[in-house]
Amino acid sequence: MSEIEIGRGKRGRRAYTFDDIAVVPSRRTRDPEDVSISWQIDAYHFELPVVAAPMDSVVSPDTAIALGRLGGLGVLDLEGLWTRYEDPESALAEIAELTPDQTTARMRELYSAPVRPELIASRLRQIREAGVTVAGALSPQRTQQFWKTVVDAGVDLFVIRGTTVSAEHVSGRAEPLNLKRFIYELDVPVIVGGAATYTAALHLMRTGAAGVLVGFGGGSAHRTRTTLGIHAPAASAIADVAAARRDYLDESGGRYVHVIADGGASVSGEIVKAVACGADAVMLGTALARASEAPGGGFHWGSEAHHPELPRGERVDVGTVGTMEEILTGPAVGADGTTNMMGALRRAMATTGYTDLKEFQRVEVVVSHYGPR
């Protein structure tokens, strides 16, 4: 793979964002009604390849249930306001009313309340009683502390999500989470990430994870590139991790690990490109924070926005464009790609002649250099 000379002492590989690429039509087209966008991870089948990001502005127990009934998967942040407060509605309303200069300090105060194991159990129980697939997320730092509470509560899918999660975390202060041992001993499938390179993803796959999150998450609310100088252009990252999945499939004798794009896809065309680059599903934050039911009330933020030492995100105003159902399955209210996102994915697959997501991962892609379209 060719590298570009940045200067005499440094070379770098060219990587591509979703804006840099485009999907190319083929010789065949199909009716959108003939296209399936369903997917399955472990024993759990979903009609929509959509996983709601575990962020307080996106997922509450109620929105997780609503998304589950629409055919997707909602992942509750088990370190968020829902597990710190008996009634977090007042805290959510206050965050929506804060001025920009107040946001970081006040959110730090609100999130300083301790996570309560009994609230983890009750929130997950609420989702389970609604009859939808139950998923909850912990950071790698909190997994050791709360995993048993989560499993005992009856979670179906366990998500370990951080800005960057590696299979080889080194710490001189405390014993790090041994992902391979942890996943092996757990009785539920684990989705872990983010990862952004072939090597990092391959190591995560070797831990026994059922799925790998690709990217740094956060999307429009993330400022990791500004604060840390770290960035992984989404199209290249997904393609690299998809290559790791292919090689691990051979290495393991047929074990398939799902690739879930996390971050960078906030309109329907970006979801299309994520699948075209190799994703089995997409984790959506900003897109679902725009729903009228979203707990953020038109605002969006992640855990990075209230980090006690170095915030790497912020609360952003994303507005409201429609109900969750309108955002995912329509009808669309405009041509900006923020509503009927699954209808757009289905039509893109039909226009290029593919009938399911796995087939569509083989679609031709070109580098366009024309920016957003």
Q: What does the pLDDT look like over 37-67, one tens digit per residue?
A: 999 999 999 999 999 999 999 999 999 999 9
pLDDT digits (tens, 9 = 90+) for 185-209: 888 999 998 899 999 999 999 999 9
pLDDT digits (tens, 9 = 90+) for 13-23: 999 999 999 99
Q: What is the reported pTM?
A: 0.93
Dist. CA 328–CA 287, nearest whole Å: 9
Dihedral, 321, 327, 305, 74 alpha carbons, nearest 10 = 150
CA distances (Å), origin 74, targets 58, 130, 260, 333:
9, 13, 14, 24
150-164, 192-206, 221-235, 265-279 — most confident range: 265-279
Dist. CA 322–CA 340, nearest whole Å: 10
Residue 371 clears pLDDT 50, i.e. is over it: yes
What is the rounded average pLDDT of the residues 106-133?
A: 97
Backbone dihedral region of 63: left (phi > 0), alpha (psi from -120 to 50 degrees) or beta? alpha
Name the band, by pLDDT with cuts 50, 70 and 90, for residue 174: low
What is the rounded average pLDDT of the residues 355-370?
A: 91
Q: What is the structure's pLDDT at 372?
A: 53
Strand positions, DSSP E, 235-287: 258-262, 281-284
Strand positions, DSSP E, the chain: 3-7, 10-13, 21-23, 39-41, 44-46, 50-52, 73-77, 135-138, 157-161, 190-195, 211-214, 258-262, 281-284, 299-300, 316-317, 365-367
What is the rounded average pLDDT of the residues 155-184?
A: 72
Q: Which residues contact 148 (CB under 8 A, 6 or more apart)?
A: none
Tokens standing for residue 268: 């329907």
Residue 175 clears pLDDT 70, i.e. is over it: no
Residue 322 clears pLDDT 80, i.e. is over it: yes
CA distances (Å), origin 155, targets 103, 110, 332:
32, 26, 33
Q: What pairs with residue 161 in β-bridges?
A: 193
Instruction: Tell me what percent of the residues of the chain surpass a pLDDT of 90.
Output: 75
Q: What is the structure's pLDDT at 217?
A: 53
What Rg, from alpha-carbon coordinates, does the chain have?
Answer: 20
